[in-house]
Structure 1
Amino acid sequence: MTPNSSPASTAPSRRSFLASSAVAAVAVAGGVPLLAACGGGSGSGSKEGTTTGKALKKVLPNYAPSNLVQPDVAGVNGSSPGFTELPDPLATSVKSAPGKGSAFRIMTPLWGTVPKKNNPYYTAVNKAVGATLNFDPQDGNTYQDKIGAVLAGSDIPDVVTIPGWNMQGQIRNAITAKFADLSPYLAGDAIKKYPNLANIPTGAWQYSVFGGKLRGLPMPQPILGNAIFYRKDLIGSGAVPGSAADLLAFGKEYTDAKKKVWAFDDLWTCIQKIFGLLPDAPHYWKLENGKLVHKIETQEYREALAFARKLHDGGYVHPDAEAGKDADSKIRFTGGRVLMYNDGTGGWKGMVTEQAAANPKFDMQALDFFNQDGGKPVLWQDDPAGIFTFLSKALPKAKIEEFLGIADFAAAPYGTKEFMLTNYGVQDTHYTIKDGVPTFTPQGIQEAQPSTFLFLASPPHTIAFPDEPQLVKDYAGWMARQAPNVKKPLFFGMQIVEPQRYASLYTPFDDLQKDIRRGRKKVSDVDAAVTTWKNSGGDKLRDWYQDILDKNGSGN
């Protein structure tokens, strides 16, 4: 399993949190960036809300990586390390129960059946942490409405988990109004009191700064969350593409519509990566000659569209993918109807496990990224965290410190006793181990598998599948090969929310790019759309971002 996700599966989201677009940290009050609105007013001279530079360093913990357990596949330049087996013996990362006997009300999302309260899993975890954690899990699919209602009232739980994709409207404003500043407890070397929290990468903490204060306990994400997957078992000894031209040649070679086989599903997300773009991020900007330029204004964007159009014109893309039937992309891939498709890396394990019995020859690999001309790619790092847990401002200092100790327990890395308890439950009750592979019992599936404890804080992203050791080598090896080409985008790790008046600016481009890629419009039609975008607020939005950049500097 991947420690940052449920043992059952990766928690679903509007945009998979393993590959979500950046959400924002400069909340908006009347269109004014929160760094002014929340810091005592724009005329106060207050620097509260600044999320980079010296002010950021004052609120961030110092990074202290853990060396408790050594991976089988080492991480490279921030890539996720891999474990092909469960370490034996397990390490101990928390010497004694961190709790002081307090009780905490905790609200989290849950995708699955809600476990019974006071079941043996909760009892064992409460005993281990020395406190009573009263979880109130809510349906993850309707969680945003629930959060909004709770935060609008006065009865705020002690602890609340909020996914980044749920931080809409007043929910984001409530984060700075209702939740505690954790900087006094965690900033600098204060984090050393909590070694597992200190093991969380700095970028994830940076992304947990709201309104100039460290407020969130993050769930870290991998540096890259999307890949082009291909069927190595169907390609055989055939060469995999290493340039855009190779990709076109691959499409011609492997597409046979008469046999109902096409080379590709919809690859648009990763095509943008091949052309050096940051996909699906509304606030993608870069500096050209000192001026902010949006993705839609770049030549690379037009080249990416033109290339995607060539795949369409060649007939190399499955008709159902062209029709937008994205929900069936996995079925087309496992059924051999397409040989390449784009997906989040979080689904790799599930696909391999699912096909192990149905098709033992199934071999799913991730394509190494390349620049469109065959050179080294420029890969923009994904958001460093996707889900955050917050503590109520009403909690006294002693209870905040107590809960941070519990969060440190929750963030125990793979290969520790604490990780196994929180992620699997009690051995021989919730899971058994055979040949080094932990497997849930029926009771474990009911009580421990849909765990809510893992949302409290998480270790760095790790690839650990003792039941699929070859997959660990494939996945971790792939990410390690991409990592040297990963760069941080201009506003990396900065929580930015655009003013509501600009919310619909990009809507026309959603349909336009599909129409261009599918032969209904021309690439040159982008020019008129960009002109409309500029006149409708795009240039003013550029100035808004320039103001953020001038005041805060870059996030990279």
Structure 2
Amino acid sequence: MTPNAASGPSRRKFLASTAVATAAVAGGMPLLSACGGGGKNDRKEGTTSGKDAQKILPAFVASNVVTPDIPAKNGSAAGFTKAIPTAELKTSVPKKLGSGGKLSVMAPFWGTPPKGDNPYYTAMNAATGVEVAWQNQDGVTYDQKLGAVLASSDIPDVVVVPGWNLNGRIPSAVNAKFADLGPYLSGDKVKDYPNLAAVPTEAWQRGIFGGVLRAVPMPASYVTDIAPLYRRDLFAKKGYSVPKSPEEFLSWAKEATDAKSKLWACDDMKWTAFNIFGVLSGSDKALWWNLEGDKLVNRIETDEYLEALEWTRKLYAAEVVHPDAVQGKAGGNAGNRLTAGEILVYNQNISDWWGKTAEQRTQNPDFDIAAFDIFGADGGDPTLWAVQPANIFTFVSKKAGKQQIKDFLALCNYCAAPYGTKEFMLTAYGVEGTDYDLKSGLPVKTQQGVNEVNGAFDYTGNPAPYIAYPDLPEVTRGMVEWQQRMGAFTKKSSFFGLTVTEPTRWANLADDFEQLEDDVVRGRKKISDVQQAVSDWKEKGGDGLRDWYKKLLDDNGSNGDNGTTN
């Protein structure tokens, strides 16, 4: 999906999974996955938690329409390993809730947007009772378009805002331009929309902006979404065991690397290093902070942060990292280096476990990858930190009428239908015989479906986190169980689940740290340069920002495992 300040898995997750999905589905593979101001209403900065939030949040009523094959546990997604025959699909929206009204929706889109009158859009409009006119915008430059639109007086009825675009003036514009959904959703009111009532409370908490419930969130598992993926087939062939500590990993990496044969142990491992050494999450600015004793500490101030960078630097110094990563060509190409057999381990969004398996199974039947369990700095259990339970938000303009807001919520309720329902099948796959066909009981998108059924209605409502790859049930199970194991070691930092709008004077204070990290691990800068940068950060506003965040905790309480309780 670049989120706030530090690079962030959040954006990478979204872009990676979108690209993987497009490539895999184009190859005929089925795709099913959803992998994530103060208490006063006039506050433009801060957050809302504790008792104030309880007055605003929707009631939670778990869905019992479909039972998952693997129940959610320890913050994991639920898992569905089987395709549901059409005759057995359940109904979660027995009555059409839309009034037939019209809504314009602006959303990011990666690729060529489909025509507005395509069969998928037409079928969804008919099923939901809402006529949606999509204003798809280039996802790469979406932040620029979003900023321009929110600065104008001409705002679409509905606007999708990814969390990584909540920078600059956009957060204050969100508070000024979008409607309060509380009168329609707070407390038991959400029961008019049963699928939205089944969205986890912690995801709804992220929808509170400026003291008001303004957004319908896209729920996600709070377990780290960056996993160390490895070529399990090549490990078995070479007789390697999965390393169990940082020292074992470095020793194994030196043994496994054979540059003359164009084989390197790994790609850039910085994000896994942060997990191994227990560094506070870098995926959201608010998660950089945690209350330790009576002091609020930022991730960049911790020994763990420096230790993670130093260990990653040792990998580069030992020349066990692929040369393309050394040159800074990390990210999406790392997966290609893995499938080509040029590296044995890389870190990426866990969705690549399915994506690469689906992509390779017709090309290389022996191809097998998995995520190994994250170990701690001492080789024992890790200390992992939760990511935010939602990071994409959909808003309604303040200019929208009451019926338009109800139509929007009717649309969201339909799209939030769980796996195994008729509503889900239409939302996720489109029209049978046009957008997808059933092959051996599995829905497989046609080329038309690949082009048209993506990047639209999935923004306007999602069920509780789930993983469902019926084409590869063993991968579904592996992904969910990995999340469950890692979830057992996951803590929630002080601002977990809260959407925090920082004062604009400090909004870009830490923007240079990602580049500095990359320079350090590649040997271009030293650990002492990081220490100096942290000192400069404190003087330029870091300590002031700390005091500001501390006051938020004092005033509102914390959602985390550590620190002040609600």
TM-score over 0.5 for the alignment?
yes
Q: How does 1:81-480 map to 2 (within 5 A)?
A: 81-88=78-85, 89-223=88-222, 224-236=224-236, 237-281=239-283, 282-283=285-286, 284-326=288-330, 327-447=332-452, 449-480=453-484
Check 1:514–1:162 CA distance in 2 against 1; reply closer, same or farther (3 A cut). Answer: closer
What amino acid is the match of 1:39?
D
What's the CA shift for 1:13? 7.8
Q: How many residues align?
A: 526
What's the CA shift for 1:277? 0.7
SS at match of 2:488: helix
> Is contact 1:430-1:441 (8 Å) kept?
yes
C-alpha distance in 2 between matches for 1:427 and 1:83: 21
> Is contact 1:305-1:516 (8 Å) kept?
yes
Q: TM-score, normalised by structure 1?
A: 0.89
What's the CA shift for 1:81? 1.5
Q: Gaps (5+ residues) in structure 1?
A: 5-11, 21-33, 42-47
The alignment status of 1:39 with 2:42, answered yes or no, reads yes
What's the CA shift for 1:399? 3.1
What amino acid is the match of 2:146?
I
What amino acid is the match of 2:415?
A
Q: TM-score, normalised by structure 2?
A: 0.88
What amino acid is the match of 1:53?
G
C-alpha distance in 1 between matches for 2:323 and 2:445: 40
Q: Which residue does the alignment assign to 1:489?
A: 493
What amino acid is the match of 2:503?
P
What's the CA shift for 1:498? 3.0
The alignment status of 1:554 with 2:549, answered yes or no, reads no
What's the CA shift for 1:252? 2.3
C-alpha distance in 1 between matches for 2:252 and 2:489: 24
C-alpha distance in 2 between matches for 1:116 and 1:280: 38
C-alpha distance in 2 between matches for 1:64 and 1:460: 11
Q: Which residue does the alignment assign to 2:27?
A: none
**Which of 63, 67, 71 is matched with 2:64 structurally?**
67
Cα-to-partner distance string for 1:8-65 (whole Å, 9 max, x where unaligned): xxxx984434999xxxxxxxxxxxxx43996379xxxxxx965111000011112222
C-alpha distance in 2 between matches for 1:551 and 1:220: 27
Check 1:404–1:36 CA distance in 2 against 1; reply closer, same or farther (3 A cut). Answer: closer
What amino acid is the match of 2:184?
Y
Cα-to-partner distance string for 1:150-175 (whole Å, 9 max, x where unaligned): 22222322211111122232322221
Q: Percent identity?
A: 49
SS at match of 1:61: coil
Check 1:59–1:258 CA distance in 2 against 1; reply closer, same or farther (3 A cut). Answer: same
> Is contact 1:269-1:279 (8 Å) kept?
no
What's the CA shift for 1:503? 4.3
C-alpha distance in 1 between matches for 2:212 and 2:486: 33
Check 1:202–1:85 CA distance in 2 against 1; reply closer, same or farther (3 A cut). Answer: same
The alignment status of 1:76 with 2:78, answered yes or no, reads no
Check 1:523–1:185 CA distance in 2 against 1; reply closer, same or farther (3 A cut). Answer: same
> Is contact 2:281-2:386 (8 Å) kept?
no
**Which of 517, 527, 530 is matched with 2:531 structurally?**
527
> Is contact 1:269-1:280 (8 Å) kept?
no
Cα-to-partner distance string for 1:235-268 (whole Å, 9 max, x where unaligned): 1042111221221222122112222211111000
> Is contact 2:83-2:470 (8 Å) kept?
yes
C-alpha distance in 1 between matches for 2:545 and 2:207: 24
Give the alignment's Cα RMSD to 1 decimal.
2.4
C-alpha distance in 1 between matches for 2:105 and 2:91: 26
What amino acid is the match of 1:367?
F
What's the CA shift for 1:411? 0.5
Cα-to-partner distance string for 1:403-432 (whole Å, 9 max, x where unaligned): 212210111011110011111112122211
C-alpha distance in 1 between matches for 2:101 and 2:257: 63
> Is contact 1:18-1:346 (8 Å) kept?
no
SS at match of 1:138: strand
C-alpha distance in 2 between matches for 1:289 and 1:49: 22
C-alpha distance in 1 between matches for 2:289 and 2:92: 41
> Is contact 2:227-2:272 (8 Å) kept?
yes
Check 1:507–1:128 CA distance in 2 against 1; reply closer, same or farther (3 A cut). Answer: closer
